[in-house]
A and B are shown apart, each in its own frame.
Chain A
Amino acid sequence: MLKLNSILVILMTFQVIALSANPDSIQIRDVWISETPPGVSKNAAYLKIENTGNKTIILQSVDSPDFERVEIHRSVVKDDKVSMQLQSELEIEPHSVFQFSPGDFHLMLIKPSKRMRSGDISSLNLNFLTAGKFSVDAEVKKLQSEHAHHH
């Protein structure tokens, strides 16, 4: 009986591992932070997250040593009015690329420790459910009108 229990535990452990997103299946690229005019205490960060695996991955939170806090937002335009919609978490489907871009999904970086200038490098920690923390470098760039989201 003890033996059967042990086998069950081992099998269940394997199952949990099989259900977990594999860190190798997450790729984060094209990360950048928009430079802000002087006096503005919020930057936006944009990036792509690719899920190359077979399981849905979930981005739960983001933080950065250079900002007091980071929130996941989406700018939504409806009836000619724009509103910010706070996202509690993001699901990224298997074999898909999730894109954060100006005028759409973005990371809102709140209260920088100092004004970030074009060329500065900051870092972002992306915390995924089961896959854990991913740290990426993010260069600060001047926002160009060409960056605007194409619907």
Chain B
Amino acid sequence: MNNSNVFRTIAIVSALIAFGAGVGIYTAQKQRAQIPPQIEGLMWPEAKTLLPFSTIDQDGMEFGLQNLQGKWSFLFFGYTNCPDICPITLSVFNQVYENLGVEHANDTQMIFISVDPERDTSERLRDYVNYFNKDFIGLGGSVEQIKSLTGQLGIPYFPHEVSADGDYLVDHSASIFLINPEAELIAVLSAPHQTNDVSSRFLKIKAFFEK
């Protein structure tokens, strides 16, 4: 082996070592980036991919899986005649949405899903969500349509017995469900909900996914 061959071999081996080290560092960084931040309620990497579903929005239009794709969605399940937890949570939604500002609000949607198909018509849902914010979405439909979404997310709801005057209450989920733009359920935020806490957890989760 002459000198030039020795140098060539050294150069090739050095290049391979450097490449290997580079790949190693890159892989390590990539792995680090995949370690989820410590955020209460975050389900990553065990995110649940949503399946197609069919509901009706506040304008009477069909709303399905494709309407969740490409946006961050906050979901809350309740009913319009709910006097306490539902209006509180929608007030929190409104405050979170307002606090996000234009930069984040453009790719974020706040969605209220009725678990009281008997009483919550599209018109009623429109009046209801508009009261909190004109941009909010209200979903309903038939029992089967509502179940196409609640079933796959495991959302509990139980109507109480109907009273003498025809009125009834409904027990329902108290959590906020966060769906990412790939239509995966990535976080479940438990009640009680505080505006600042919901906003900061959302922004941390979003930053992690957009890294």
Contacts and interface: CB of A to CB of B under 8 A. Distances in A.
B92 A108 contact: no
Contact of B87 (A37, A38, A41, A77): A37
Interface in A122-151: 143-151
B50 interface: no
A103 B84 CA distance: 6
B127 interface: yes
Interface in B166-184: 167, 169, 171-175
Contact of A148 (B80, B172, B173, B192): B192
B81 to A, nearest CB: 6
B92 A145 contact: yes
B127 A37 contact: yes
B130 to A, nearest CB: 8
Give the contact-size bracket for chain B.
35 or more
Contact of A77 (B91, B128, B160, B174): B174
Contacts, number: 103
A82 B172 contact: yes
Contact of A102 (B84, B160, B188): B84
Contact of A145 (B130, B160, B169, B195): B195
B131 A37 contact: yes
Given A80-B175, A80-B190, A84-B171, A39 B128 contact: yes
Interface in A23-68: 34, 36-44, 68
Contacts of A145: 88, 91-92, 94-95, 194-195
Contacts of A80: 156, 173-175, 188, 190-191
B171 A81 contact: yes
B132 interface: yes
A144 B91 contact: yes
A148 B171 contact: no
B127 to A, nearest CB: 5
A84 B83 CA distance: 10
B204 interface: no
A97 interface: no
Contact of B83 (A38, A43, A151): A43
Nearest to A38: B127
Contacts of A106: 83-84
Interface of B: 80-85, 87-88, 91-92, 94-95, 124, 127-128, 130-132, 156, 160, 165, 167, 169, 171-175, 188, 190-195
A-B complex: 4 closest residue pairs judged by Cβ atoms: A37-B131, A82-B174, A42-B83, A83-B171
Given A38-B128, A42-B81, A148-B194, 4 more contacts: A37-B132, A81-B156, A82-B191, A84-B171
12 contacts: A39-B124, A40-B81, A40-B128, A43-B83, A44-B83, A80-B190, A82-B85, A84-B160, A84-B171, A108-B84, A145-B94, A150-B194
